[in-house]
Amino acid sequence: MESTIRELAHLQIPLENVRKATNNFDNSNIIGEGDFGKVYKGRLLWSGKSLKIAARRLDQKNQRVTEFWREISMLSILKHENIVSIIGFCDEQNENIIINKRCANGSLLMHINKERLTWIQRFSICVGVARALSYMHDDEEERLYSVIHRNVNSSTILLDNNLVPKLSGFEYSLKHVVGQKEQVLLSDTIDTRGYMDPEITKTGGVTLKSDIYSFGIVLWEVLCGRKAFISDEDKDKRFLSSLARSHYEKETLERIIHPDLWNYMSQISLTSFSKAAYFCIKNERVHRPNINSTFRELTEAFRYQESFDSSHLS
């Protein structure tokens, strides 16, 4: 741990600067809250620049310091247009704070069931997340390991000013040695309701295919305009996974696709998108595709949708 902290020292930001940036963690600046703690917006003067930031402040009652350092370490290494950018961190006076560039449009979860996001915008977001996962799972040029995110869901996908997706939430991520991608990494269960790989309970751990399952659920959320789990729904409709499988297999997707999106979809692209989403959420890992296969399928389907939009909406 000490060696890790030394390696990251160049990212350290004084607590005084963070306090000024967030107006002393004023409640009016809270833009989110999760298991980790509260997230504050602010404007940080750093390295001669004025930066719009999101400061994730670890709850002092929360003893998750290991996760704190893991996220900082991962974000210091992973550099990609679809992964949230780290500015620095604060580890001072019992405060543990991660400072990222702020994404003005919040999380994808905030927009799932709203009309504001068009179908082509939703599609583009999904392609961007797939691109990030491809980089994490299979970019072996600079790393000798893959990264399993373990917490892919619509609340960890942030959207910037241009609705470009930025994957965040790396506190649970794990390194996976290249060449052993099918090996199960034993780990504690993260019970993100509706997104969790069902094979985790059988194997006691995760693989890259666990991210594929969670990403598949996000694809269905985007397509259907509803959350992965809705507690007050009827028992057979609470989990989007079972609902999606049922309607895909019965060829009745029009019953669950968001009605505001249906008329704007190319049937060719919809067929490819839904097929990719369906196979991502197969219960057995062996039947799920890898991320590169899914990325290629989504990219091709997106081109069909762009062509459809050009010819029908111009």
The enclosing domain of 53 has a CATH number of 3.30.200.20
| 47 and 152, same domain (yes or no) | no
Among 77, 101, 125, residue at a domain's last position: 101
CB-CB neighbours of 247 under 10 Å: 19
- Does 112 lie in the same domain as 35? no
Any idea what DSSP says for residue 67?
A: H
Judgement on whether residues 72 and 130 belong to the same structural domain of the protein:
no
CATH code where residue 259 lies = 1.10.510.10
**What pLDDT is recorded for position 36?**
84
Q: What is the DSSP string of 231-288?
A: TTS-GGGSBHHHHHHHHHHHT-GGGTS-HHHHTT--HHHHHHHHHHHHHHT-SSGGGS
pLDDT digits (tens, 9 = 90+) for 146-175: 999 999 999 999 999 999 999 999 999 999
One domain, residues 82 and 112: no
* Residues 6 or more apart in contact with residue 1 via CB below 8 angstroms: 69
Are 141 and 75 part of one and the same domain?
A: no
Domain residues for 20?
Answer: 2-101
Q: How many structural domains are present in the chain?
A: 2
Those residues of the chain that have pLDDT short of 70 are: 1-5, 62-63, 140-142, 232-236, 313-314
The whole-angstrom separation of Cα 311 and Cα 302 is: 14
Q: What is the pLDDT of residue 234?
A: 66
Query: Tens digits of per-residue pLDDT, 73-127?
Result: 999 999 999 999 999 999 999 999 999 999 999 999 999 988 889 999 999 999 9
Choose the final residue of a domain: 62, 85, 101: 101
Are residues 307 and 183 located together in one domain of the fold? yes
Specify the pLDDT at position 190.
80
What is the reported pLDDT for 1?
53
Same domain, 60 and 115: no
In a shared domain, residues 71 and 145: no
